[in-house]
Amino acid sequence: MTPPCGKIDPTASRREFLLRAGGGFGTLAAAHLLGLDGLLGKARASTVAVDPLAPLAARPSHLAPRAKSVIFLFMEGGPSHVDLFDPKPELAKLAGQPMPASFGKPLTAMGTASNTIMPSRRAWKQHGRSGLWVSDWYPEVARHADDLCVLRSCWADGLNHVGSVCQMCTGDILAGRPSLGAWASYGLGSANQNLPSFVVLTDAAEVNGGPKNWSSGFLPAVFQGTQFRNDGPPIFHLAPPSTTGPEQQRRKLDFLAQLNTRFAAGKADDNELAARLDSYELAWRMQSAAPEAVDLSRETDATRRLYGLDQEPSRKFGANCLLARRLVERGVRFVQCFSGSGSAWDAHEDLDGNHSKRCRETDRPIAGLLADLKSRGLLDETLVIWGGEFGRTPFNEKGKGRDHNPWGFSMWMAGGGVKAGTVVGATDEIGLRAVEDRIHVHDLHATILHLMGLDHLRLTYPHNGRDERATVNDGEVVAKALA
């Protein structure tokens, strides 16, 4: 006799019992996936509604934003966490010895996992009321210890620079996805009318991987980052010829818009064409706004000294940090500010020489940025992020250098809703791997978007038959980092 529905015959075999009892697990999984897609009990989360005629118009956020703007200070090449923000006394005890077998030997970029442990030569002190540990390489930044939230347990997937820089910027080691700044512009639109929403500043050579790091990927092209130059006009061909007056320039743009609009008829899906049309109008407005925004001569001598513009080592990066402050003041949402473009922080042979130079270039400008934002009441609404694509290994390379370390490294955030004067997560005793409250790049991106008022699960864009998001299929907000 067949038992009533929902009951199992006590005389049934063990196999039949397991079959019937386990049959519900598939339903649980299906319910979970349908719930994530918003198909159970509520409408499915929709993509962002972008007006094709005004793609950069400001849009409402999902959550109450804590940060109106982001300044990402990107130390390209991989700063050494065990020499800057993550002291490891165990390195001194194991100095010159092979890495203990208990830590395992990872597949390193340069095949150095069998090399001996190298201690940090830095002097370490606790700073501020929080007692945050910072090495003597960053004495000026250390004065702001109580503003920092240090994430000591970051980890990533790439071994080498091109893929790792790409992942830190776009979420993937393979090129082609939108950058985080592009996602922010897509989700929120622009907070100004006369400047780009997403700006990129570099200080040296070409960034590893180049413009793909601030690309819009499969998002509409209008959301890609705009690179500003260090010297001369910030953007190529921004200023009209000296023989062309403003009225003539306006008539030229109006006529060009007529031709492009006629050509665009019936091509509504061509987002690159729409972006080009919009860029002409933005360029017209920028011809008056951008020169004023980048004119650092308008700043006082005291402000210029604050950022280190009076000293040669820090002059270039200091100018970019000061420019970043001027841009967020004027409503630019996302500024990516690279230090050591072209992997200048990559210390394979001479860590002390390399990092001493890079820290002299960046210490005062970063401290000046934090102090300036705070004095102007902007730090609470500006999220400042510091870090590179990965850290460095606890074992040596070529005797005095360190190899790439994506398994555990430090980054920090300040302002914009983060819990100041705190440390989140930890690496193991030698700083090789993140072991406590591990923070993947996707978690970091989810947290940045959250602080900007965007839910990374709801910020989606349809591409190739699926709703893509900035954090791919992963990522959780780092709750311990939030104020």
DSSP helix/strand/coil, 325: helix
For the chain, what are the domain ranges?
Answer: 69-234+294-481
Strands (E), 136-225: 148-155, 198-201
Task: Check: CB of residue 76 under 8 Å from CB of residue 207.
Answer: yes
DSSP helix/strand/coil, 47: coil
CATH code 3.30.450.20 for 69-234+294-481? no
Report which of 473, 476, 412, 448 is spatially closest to residue 74, judged by C-alpha positions: 412
Task: Check: CB of residue 113 under 8 Å from CB of residue 407.
Answer: no
Q: Per the structure block, which two tokens stand in for 170?
A: 């776009």
Specify the amino acid at residue 154. C
Q: What's the pLDDT tens digit per position in 146-180?
A: 999 999 999 999 999 999 999 999 999 999 999 99
Helices and strands of the chain, counted as H and E runs: 11, 17
Cα dist from 108 to 112, 342, 404, 461, whole Å = 6, 20, 7, 35
The strand pairing partners of 71, in sequence order, are 335, 384
Cα dist from 132 to 55, 149, 394, 409, 426, whole Å = 43, 9, 21, 16, 14
Per-residue pLDDT of the chain (483 residues; tens, 9 = 90+): 444 444 445 556 666 655 555 555 555 455 545 554 545 444 344 579 998 878 899 999 999 999 999 999 999 999 999 999 999 999 999 999 999 999 999 999 999 999 999 999 999 999 999 999 999 999 999 999 999 999 999 999 999 999 999 999 999 999 999 999 999 999 999 999 899 999 999 987 899 999 999 999 999 999 999 999 877 667 766 666 667 666 776 677 677 767 777 776 766 666 666 666 666 666 666 776 778 888 999 999 999 999 999 999 999 999 999 999 999 999 999 999 999 998 999 999 999 999 999 999 999 999 999 999 999 999 999 999 999 999 999 999 999 999 999 999 999 999 999 999 999 999 999 999 999 999 999 999 999 999 999 999 999 999 999 999 999 999 999 999 999
Task: Check: CB of residue 310 under 8 Å from CB of residue 47.
Answer: no
Cα dist from 55 to 149, 217, 278, 336, whole Å = 34, 16, 8, 21
Give the HSE-up count for residue 317: Cα atoms under 13 Å, Cβ half-sphere.
Answer: 29
Show the CA angle centred on residue 53, arms to residues 50 and 58, nearest 5°: 50
Q: What's the pLDDT tens digit per position in 37-57?
A: 545 444 344 579 998 878 899
Containing H/E element for 186? helix 180-188
- For the chain, what percentages of helix, strand and coil (3-state, to nearest 5) are there? 35, 15, 45
Cα dist from 54 to 287, 412, 452, whole Å = 19, 35, 21
> What pLDDT sits at residue 1?
43
Residue written as token pair 């990965």? 390
pTM: 0.86
Burial 396-428 (b: 16+ CB within 10 A, else e): bbeebbbbbbbbbbbbbbbbbbbbbbbbbbbbb
